Structure 1
Amino acid sequence: MMALGVQQLKKGMDLKIVCKNIDETHQFLDRFYMSKIGIRMFIGQHVELHNPNPPHYVGCIHTKMSPVEVARNASEDARAMCLREYGSSPDVNIYGDPTFMFPYVLAHLQLMVFERVKNSLRAVQEHYMDSDKVAPPVRIIVPDGIKDVTIKVSDEGGGIPRSGLPKIFTYLYSNAQNPLFEHSDLGTFEAVTMAGYGYGIPISRLHAWYFGGDLQIISMEGYGTDAYLHLSHSGDSQEPLP
């Protein structure tokens, strides 16, 4: 609902006004969503600690989480969405040791990897849609990290122009179809499921920031994009809210 509100704001306001206030809007939404992540984390942890926990869980935190297994599950979900949207989907190849484990919030990592893979699948699918060539697979690399864990999602979906890179972390930008469609009766809409809200990248970065990590995007226009998801072990992190 917040994402649709931002899209309606962008659509209803003059472009110059939106551009003038984009930093203020972005900072407000960053604070709002970081608070939301924190409140949800606190409530979820409290509830889970008072319920019987599965093995290797302390509340919401999975103490022996395999990032390779999380990447596999997130990729399956993203490919299912791509298949539903386009009728086909590129493959996803995962490289890493499935026995490598570290403590983290499973739901957070699942969301971040899913959003990155979903973006890459859409980029590759649309880039090769009218081509006779076979669409190359999306690659996920998960090296073993002692202090930090980095997950790289790499695609050959045509990349992002350099001029567009500063915009991808804002809530008012998306290079996909806008999720709002006008109808005769005011206020009705249909939502695009695969993309279009412009929220996947900034929300993923906030989840990474929450435990001291980061998300970096490096792109080569005409070739593809690499997304680096840097994660700190949960035990070494502090909650970043003021």
Structure 2
Amino acid sequence: MEVNIEKTLLMCKSFMKEVKIWGCLKQTGVSLRYMMEFGSNPTQKNLLISAQFLHKELPIRIARRAIELHSLPHGLSHMPPVLKVRHWYLDSFREIISFPEIKNMNDEKEFTELIKAIKVRHNNVVPTMALGVQQLKNVFEDPDEIDEFLDRFYMSRIGIRMLIGQHVELHNPNPPPNCVGYIHTNMSPVNVARNASEDARSMCYREYGSAAEVRIYGDPDFTFPYVPAHLHLMVFELVKNSLRAVQERFMDSDEVAPPIRIIIADGIEDVTIKVSFYNF
């Protein structure tokens, strides 16, 4: 029994050493433009190249997140929900580095199924992390460094899921019009904002029985390449929080709740989306 325990400890130390080695490697940035150009012609050769790239890139990104989750301040790393998330990342890291070298399309298909399963495993990372942070707030005040970590962590998570999702979606034999994988080449931010606002207002209706009006200002014909699901989530969260603030402020008031404004402005190099409300 003692021999087995010692062997297990040595294996754990060896595994964590490998996690640290991968976590120290430099990750490769991938632009939206490159993903569009590369994915516009999803041949078997390109799919194979994509899988080979992810086989080397994903362990680096996942290892970094696992290391960060192990060294959070104020005891957050020891919160059960955070430990659960860390185990998900370690399991995913182990599965990817254990996968053999990708040499042909059969390997590529098996690897694609693996990362699809990994993506599903991590679906509940955000609410699980939120639970851990909430438990910490019951003991400590909300420290700035935890907010900074969460911003960095969630941005990295989006990057990992984008890489996996883009590769998986390139296998779709019937992609939606104007789409290259996850990316819509002519996405209308006005349309996405409208849909996200309606979803947020529906949630507000269910919670409070009413919802403030949402007014959207912007050119409905303006489009740019982006991931609609990502923009939808961002606008939805902003509008949802704004609706909640308005409801709680005017719930017991004789005043009429002010409308929420979404202003969409395109610049030379970027797009600005502002969510605000009157009378505040």
Range class of TM-score, shorter chain: 0.5 to 0.7
Whether 1:7 and 2:134 are equivalent positions in the alignment is yes
Match of 1:148 in 2: 270
Could you state the TM-score of these two structures normalised by the residue count of structure 2?
Answer: 0.51
Structure label with greater radius of gyration = 2
Return the letter of the residue paired with 1:74: A
SS at match of 1:147: coil
Matched ranges for 1:1-150 at <5 A: 1-11=128-138, 13=139, 15=140, 18=141, 22-52=143-173, 53-150=175-272
> Superposition RMSD on alpha carbons, in Å?
1.6
Structure 1 residue 146, shift from structure 2 partner: 3.6
Shifted more, 136-145 versus 103-112: the winner is 136-145
Of Structure 1 and Structure 2, which has the larger fraction of its residues in strand?
A: 1
Could you state the TM-score of these two structures normalised by the residue count of structure 1?
Answer: 0.59
Structure 1 residue 102, shift from structure 2 partner: 0.6
Of Structure 1 and Structure 2, which has the larger fraction of its residues in helix?
A: 2
Return the letter of the residue paired with 1:101: T
Output the CA distance in 2 between the equivalents of 1:26 and 1:143: 28
Structure 1 residue 107, shift from structure 2 partner: 1.1
Structure 1 residue 3, shift from structure 2 partner: 0.3
Structure 1 residue 84, shift from structure 2 partner: 0.6
SS at match of 2:251: coil
Output the CA distance in 2 between the equivalents of 1:139 and 1:30: 25
Gaps of at least 5 residues in structure 1 are: 157-222, 225-242
Structure 1 residue 111, shift from structure 2 partner: 0.8
SS at match of 1:143: strand
Structure 1 residue 29, shift from structure 2 partner: 2.8
Output the CA distance in 2 between the equivalents of 1:115 and 1:151: 13
Return the letter of the residue paired with 2:227: V
Structure 2 vs 1, CA of residues 8 and 38 (structure 1 numbering), >3 Å: closer, same or farther?
same
SS at match of 1:35: helix
SS at match of 1:136: coil
| Structure of greater relative contact order (alpha carbons < 8 Å, 6+ residues apart) | 1
Match of 1:164 in 2: none
Output the CA distance in 2 between the equivalents of 1:138 and 1:28: 30
SS at match of 1:125: helix
Identity rate, percent: 74
Output the CA distance in 1 between the equivalents of 2:216 and 2:147: 33
Output the CA distance in 2 between the equivalents of 1:88 and 1:31: 35
Output the CA distance in 2 between the equivalents of 1:120 and 1:9: 25
Number of aligned pairs? 152
Match of 2:118 in 1: none
Output the CA distance in 2 between the equivalents of 1:30 and 1:95: 28
